[in-house]
Structure 1
Amino acid sequence: MAAAGARTARWPWWLQLGGLYLAARLVSACIFMAAALQQGVNPWFPPKPDYWNFINIWDARWYAEVLGNGYPVALPTDDAGNVQENAWAFYPLFPLLGRSLTALTGIAPAASLTVIAMLSGLAAALVIYRLFRHRASQRTALWGAVFVSTFPVSPVLQVPYAESLNLLLLASALLLVVRRRYLWAMPVVLLMCLSRPTGVPFAATVGLLFLYRVYPHLPTLSRGGRPLTAAAGPAGATPPVTGMAAPAVPGAGEHSRGELWSLAGLTAVSGLGALLWPGIAWAVTGDLQAYTKTETVWRGHDLVPFKPWFDTGVQLFGPVLGLVAPFVFVAAFVALLRSRPVVALGAELRLWCVCYLVYLLVFLHPQTSTFRMLLPLFPLALSAAFVSRSRAYRGTVVVMFMLLQLVWVVWLWAWAQLPGGGDYPP
């Protein structure tokens, strides 16, 4: 066993990680198949479905609807004029790629979406490793990518959902930002904005990064011509933690005026990209609020920033503790962001985590799908790997994540009618 492990360690990084990712997906597939054997009566198929039917439920049916029939020109409404659930809530890039693959190969649409999800998930793991290598040693970066691959909601990376495609594009965009390839990041960000609603927090991230880079050097900018020295890192940064490597890009090097203008341009493109899909929905339907009206159908009420967190807190913890719970959650996350392992992620990845969490606090209606929506916080997987180089610790994290996959699939993916009807969505 030790000899086999030593030989495996000599493999190229992409082969090591690719094998580990596929092994993780095989474990998740076994969990899906075991849960399918326990699946009873449901809205989609007879009890005890096979694996392929079992993974093509929930939002996968909506993506298949978009692939086959596109988007409605007019928003569907009930007799009272209330907008009903419809395809505008689901971004177009994933089903468009599925339609193209079906046209090229002739395979079934569900199979096309599954193939794209699987390949995107594998590619995302490889890009995430390259991103993590800018802040960590090879072994620590590999463990961080493995943590992402085995995360409790990682089974979603192999079902016909857009999460794996969005994760690939998000990781690629962050990698290009860390490498200061701001112009190259622009088309990637536009594609990302058409895969899932991550454009708003990404625009906030690069906008704040621009201010962070340019503010200390405004006097130099006003004189013009001279290169600008970028800040070495976040204020109050702590010394490197275990497993951290020297940054692969010059985090304490020089930012030229051209780089700053490119970063400003990326901020503008990201902002426009965030508005792209709501704008398309408006142009097609003629309703300025077509996208937001559709999104809020699943909530059962209009969007009011922050309020759903307090409503859910009261529902879970009572009228007093429930109002305090969101503040406790935010305080805990701030403490996490100030911890040494998270500080070691660097300014770009920390900013992304902050902006994405703020985005969730402002716009998200917290419910069972929230677990899946935490996947874009994947940089925190590297901070988890920074905690200790112990194989026992890192192996325990992987085992714990796989056990929690069981909980996620059995509790949320498998369908079981609630007393009031319906079921909790994954």
Structure 2
Amino acid sequence: MSALEEQEQQQLPVRPERLPHALWSRPGAWPWWLQIAAAYVAARAFSFLVFSGAAFKQGINPWMQPAPGYWDFVTIWDGRWYQIAAENGYPAQLPLDSLGNVQENAWAFYPVLPLLGKALSGVVGIPVLASMTAIAMVAGLLAALVVFRLFLQFSSHRTAFWGTVFVACFPVSAILQVPYAESLNLLFLAAALLALVQRRYVSAMPFVVLAALSRPMGVPFGALVGLLWAHRLWALFRERRRPDRAETRSLLAHGALTLVACTAALAWPALAWARTGDIAAYTKTETVWRGGGLVPFKPWWDMAVGTLGPVLGPVALLAFLVCSAWALLKAPAVRRIGVELRLWCACYLIYLLAFLQPQTSTFRLLLPLFPLGLAVAFVSRSKAYRWTVVLMFSLLQIVWVVWLWAWAQLPGGGDYPP
């Protein structure tokens, strides 16, 4: 950390009698959690306005009357699937059409959000969709606080603050206040990464399990901790030295975390198998939405060729891979976010390339790459630059909500999913 950044991190103490005035006149003197909470609430208030405007213009749709209110509008799309999972549970038999093909069903939606939503609904007495919306909003705020603490491991207070603001204003960040599992997953993932960076491997375990049971995060996280563990073992072998007792305990805990992460990655498909008796129940359900079987990496190749042609398509895909690899390995701003966060981004990108069907939902699925928000903050300390990023992200958020969240039937039926 540079001397200038260290100076940024130092905050002048505020005398108790002047605290009320300082809270209004000097936001920089606020406690860190209040700074982050205020920035996050402001970002969600902007998303509220965007959703409200889009809802006012919403026409005929599959869920409700035209021009719905905000609270109804944010519960469409997958929110209704989470509601089905919470109220009806997961089917013991996969639904089939007349040809024996698996139909869309709740097994595609991980259980943490439905379980919490059902529990809160039972305690408070509000509808499940309302309880899941409330959970998502609170989880998003908590996630912002954890993200800031994670970023603070690599940067000054001010840079970590701006990195967190960029995450809160990300073009798809509106998803953090709707009944989707993204905000819960962001909270658990950020907490697991923070514990990993601090080498608190046992503390990371419950967060890894919760992350893997809220969204499909187990595979890339298992790869992350496994590669880091293998590197530590290789370093010991290469140096031909015996670890001391503390390092041995750390290595054992790290290995246990790797095992937990890999087990958590398989837990939901295993539960679907146990419940339905079909070993491929989860995979069959997931692939219903893509209209074809699961062949790793092939969808991206097909998309590139189908969009840009047999020559330019593969060239563009290769250029994307090369640029991504260069950014994670060599870009100065990205290198400053630490090995663990860069490796997480690499593992998650490879996971998306291997298993994701590229479509409009891809934008939303990029949210777990949130550590790159800190890299964006490292690019420049200029206020003009940082406010410009916030402005551009906010404008793109309007595009995302109006284009993808609002429903408008395509000529062939249906609409692009958010």
TM-score norm. by structure 1 comes to 0.91
* Residue 347 (structure 1) aligns with: 339
Residue matched to 1:18: 37
Cα-to-partner distance string for 1:12-34 (whole Å, 9 max, x where unaligned): 01001101100100000000000
Deviation at 1:38, TM superposition (A): 1.0
Structure 1 segment 106-125 matched on structure 2, within 5 A: 106-125=125-144
Match of 2:287 in 1: 296
Measure how far apart 1:219 and its partner are.
5.7
Aligned AA for 2:286? E
- What does 1:355-394 correspond to in 2, within 5 Å? 355-394=347-386
Please say if 1:421 is aligned against 2:413. Answer: yes
What are the ranges of 5 or more consecutive residues in structure 1 without an aligned counterpart? 228-254
Give the corresponding residue for 1:236.
none
Whole-angstrom CA distance in 2 between matches of 1:334 and 1:266 = 27
How many angstroms does 1:225 deviate by? 5.0
Structure 1 residues 5, 144: CA separation in 2 closer, same or farther (over 3 Å shift)? farther
What is the distance in 2 between the residues matched to 1:215 and 1:342? 25
1:22-421 to structure 2, matched below 5 A, reads 22-218=41-237, 224-226=242-244, 256-337=247-328, 338-421=330-413
Unaligned runs of 5+ in 2: 1-21
The structure with the largest helix share of the pair is 2
Deviations 1:85-118 (A, max 9, x none): 0000000001100011011111111110001000
Q: How many Å separate the matches in 2 of 1:330 and 1:15? A: 39
Q: Aligned partner of 1:273: which letter? A: A
Deviations 1:317-357 (A, max 9, x none): 12221222221111111121120111111111011000000
Aligned-pair CA distance for 1:42: 0.7
Q: Which runs of at least 4 in structure 1 moved beyond 4 Å after TM superposition? A: 3-6
Is 2:236–2:243's contact at 8 Å kept on the other side of the alignment? no
Distance in 1, Cα, partners of 2:258 & 2:294: 26
CA pair 151-219 structure 1, distance change in 2 beyond 3 A: closer
Q: Per the alignment, in what secondary structure is the counterpart of residue 40 of structure 1?
A: coil
**What residue identity is the alignment partner of 2:264?**
G
Provide the C-alpha distance between the structure 2 equivalents of 1:42 and 1:145, rounded to a whole number of angstroms.
Answer: 35
The alpha-carbon deviation at position 214 of structure 1 amounts to 2.2
Higher mean Cα deviation, 211-220 or 98-107?
A: 211-220
Instruction: Kindly state the Cα deviation for residue 5 of structure 1 after the two structures are TM-superposed.
Output: 7.5
- What is the SS of the residue equivalent to 1:205? helix
String of CA shifts for 1:119-170, please: whole Å, max 9, x gaps: 0000000000000000000000000000000000000000000000000000
CA contact (8 A) 2:176 2:182 kept: yes
> In structure 2, how many angstroms separate the alpha carbons of the residues matched to 1:81 and 1:73?
16
C-alpha separation in 1, matches of 2:23 and 2:188: 34
In 2, distance between residues paired with 1:21 and 1:224?
Answer: 47
Report how far residue 223 of structure 1 moved: 5.6
After TM superposition, the score normalised by the length of structure 2 is 0.93
2:55 and 2:309 mapped to 1: Cα distance? 36
Shift of the 223–13 alpha-carbon distance from structure 1 to 2, 3 Å rule, reads: closer
Seen in structure 2, the aligned counterparts of structure 1 residues 10 and 367 have a Cα distance that, compared at 3 Å, is: same
Identical counterparts, % of pairs: 60
Cα distance in 2 for partners of 1:225, 1:300 equals 52
Deviation at 1:266, TM superposition (A): 0.4
Q: RMSD of the alignment, in Å?
A: 1.5
